[in-house]
Amino acid sequence: MEPRELHLTADTLDHARDVVARHVPRSAAYRWPLIEAATGTTTWIKHENHNPTGAFKVRGGLTFMAHHADERPGAGVISASRGNHSQSLAFAGAAAGVPVTIVVPEGNSPDKNAATEAFGAELIVHGRDFQAAVDHSRVLADQRGLVPVPPVHPWLVEGVATYAAELHEDVPGLDVVYVPVGMGSGICANIAVRDLIGSGAEVVGVVADRAPAYALSFDRGEPVATDAADTLIDGVACRIPDPGAVAVVVAGASRIERAADQEALDAMALLYRATHNLAEPAGAIALAAAVRDRELNRGRRVAVVLTGGNCDHQVLARAFGG
């Protein structure tokens, strides 16, 4: 697929919202007293875990497939994913009549694998980590004549931007938004919407401290890869960042925070106790950073994106066992 630049305008955002609204209802942004006791300030949780695939990425999948079906009718697509991106494409492909093939690494979440197949995708297991799965998906794209879907693409970001637009409409005057960062579609969408509407909100990205590629890239001002991304926070286990996403993050984010595996587990437990919502580790790390920034944020209006709730039982047991 040819590289494309993101040009989020009022018109492209409106089109994305029309596409997404056919399948995804507006997600809630709630204040929870026990969450605010932990963050020390007014805090809204944006509940993207309530979407049809249990995560925010379904929005991007829908807009991607809408564009793809117009440009390449009948052509199948292939991508690599640890889970939420794959379910997004499978769900959207079924809705648009587009065949979807997904490559996942060995040891990937069995629950996410099962959900991806249940939504209608062909699942292929290959490689020791996400990057190995990406490389194999490119080989298969050539062999099978499939259109590769990257983890970050303007069509994906347009769809994800719909939740950021909802958030700013529902909670005007935000001071800071905390967003988990995997490959970058979520933080890019939040920056794009913030700039489009002229909000003064800071956008803070949060990565796993054992998968710090985007934090290192932000600090250096250019893409920095790592040799490993060995973290239970699998939704953000990136070791080779997307150059286009890095450019947007460097230009538009306030900072990138790092969350330890245990902080993610603690935040998952807090979310359950305070809101009775289940979060996956990647969906909880934005809250982990907001809790850590308690003193910094006193008196500020804070939003935390709960990006997904697709978590294996064994990880939930580990989070709640303590």
Is the domain defined by 10-55+154-321 classed in CATH 3.30.390.30? no
pLDDT of residue 322: 59
Per-residue pLDDT tens for 231-290? Answer: 999 889 888 999 999 999 999 999 999 999 999 999 999 999 999 999 999 999 999 999
Q: Do residues 251 and 205 make contact, with C-beta atoms less than 8 angstroms apart?
A: no
DSSP-assigned letter for residue 308: B
CATH fold of 57-148: Rossmann fold (3.40.50)
Q: What contacts 102, CB < 8 A, 6 or more positions away?
A: 78, 79, 80, 81, 86, 89, 90, 116, 121, 122, 123, 124
pLDDT classification of 47: cutoffs 50, 70, 90: very high
DSSP-assigned letter for residue 25: P
Buried b (16+ CB within 10 A) or exposed e, 254-280: eebbbbebebbbbbbbbbbebbebbbb
Q: What is the pTM of this model?
A: 0.94
- Across the chain, mean pLDDT equals 95
Identical fold between 10-55+154-321 and 57-148: yes
pLDDT of residue 176: 98
Domain extent listing, the chain: 10-55+154-321, 57-148
Strand order in the sheet with 302-306: 29-31, 43-47, 302-306, 176-180, 202-208, 255-259
